[in-house]
Chains A and B, each alone.
Chain A
């Protein structure tokens, strides 16, 4: 039986005023002709009917959509729990009020650093103050606040300061996410990968903060991927609980699945969400455990990590159906070790590429 999806990630646009070198957005996709308000309204209704309870409005920068409050209204009309995932840039009192009135449930704002100068450098834009203003607006309008900070070699040593800074902004939840190497982040992997010593220290800092803040603020620490010896349970399994619709309406098992070369995904303009979720060859391709190669096939972990990330397997081994090479049991683990060795010999600011706006690609 086809599983039921619980959460939809709606990538409303790939446009963004920031230029984070760690951005997981595809580095080549322009976003095409963005779905209209009417098209998204249909997607939200079909998602809710499929069993989706949860909606993430993301991008790019979702605030770049002028019709964002109307999109929130459409989501709430079909009962979706709606979380805005934003850099905070572009939020003003007017929009905060509109979003609150539309029934937005929560706002997640990302920061690049606790330090304004470093934050602005990483964002490639004077964004830090605008983010602080966005935090104030979220509180003023009684909206729930989560914070997200993406962690990498350039800021990982500041983790204690980053946590203290986050606490001072009084979120209910703090997500410290080590970079996943997709999209722009993949291009900057050599500069972003932390060293083993950095990762060990950071883990202890994060664990101490989790213990100290228990019952007060939820602290989630996403481990640095390549440095582990078991892979992430990517999306809790392909086509199992999550689905993504990208700005152009492609329906994907995860936001990065478009990077797998031989998969061509269905588009919401050509079919219903239910038919794509249930019948798409691509969604079915890595469902369950049948598709798994050795060593996953016989491994007791196979229903826990689902063999890791399909996009990562494709990127690193050329085979989407390979065991995620981060796994120490993978015959390809040496690929990851070679990448680490090479990265640790690269200077962090040597050749860092900043994310470009797809509009620049278009024109």
Chain B
């Protein structure tokens, strides 16, 4: 499995759709075999995975919006994306 590094430009795997569940008002990832409810942080990260934005830029853009050090944000982003990669829900380089 490819190691994630900050230059990757992740995107959702083609079969995955990000949606707001209107019944619970929660962000969810939908894919053929199930769904994953996203935490607010994970949602902010996944929203930015468009295949053009690098992980480094995602961290910076989160830094502009949220009150946390880039170091902590970088760790959050890398952990979240590694988890999604394990589940085959994102691709690192489209």
Show the binding face of A for B, using Cβ within 8 Å.
4, 6, 51, 53-54, 79, 81, 83, 105-106, 108, 142-146, 172-173, 175, 214-218, 220
Contact of B21 among A53, A172, A214 (CB under 8 A): A53
Interface residues of B (CB under 8 A from A): 1-2, 13-15, 17, 19, 21-24, 28, 30-35, 85-88
Q: Known contacts A53-B19, A108-B32; is A217 also within 8 Å of B88 by CB? A: yes
Are A215 and B86 CB-contacts (below 8 A) given A53-B28, A83-B32? yes
**Which of A6, A144, A215, A218 makes the CB contact (< 8 A) with B14?**
A144
Contact residues in B for A79 (Cβ distance below 8 Å): 19, 22
- Measured in the bound complex, the distance between the Cα atoms of B18 and A229 in whole Å is 38
Which residues of chain B come closer than 8 Å to A106, judged between CB atoms? 15, 31-32
The one of B1, B22, B35 that contacts A215, using a Cβ cutoff of 8 Å: B1
Additional A-B contact list (4), CB under 8 Å, known A54-B30, A144-B32: A53-B30, A108-B32, A173-B32, A173-B33
Interfacial chain B residues near A172, Cβ < 8 Å: 13-15, 88
Chain A residues lying within 8 Å of B19, measured Cβ to Cβ, are: 53, 79, 81
Assess whether A51 is in contact with B23, with CB atoms less than 8 Å apart.
Answer: yes
Subset of 30 A-B contacts with CB under 8 Å: A6-B35, A51-B24, A53-B28, A54-B34, A81-B19, A81-B31, A81-B35, A83-B32, A105-B15, A105-B30, A106-B15, A144-B13, A144-B14, A144-B32, A146-B15, A146-B32, A146-B33, A173-B32, A173-B88, A175-B33, A214-B1, A215-B1, A215-B85, A215-B86, A215-B88, A216-B1, A217-B88, A218-B33, A218-B87, A220-B33
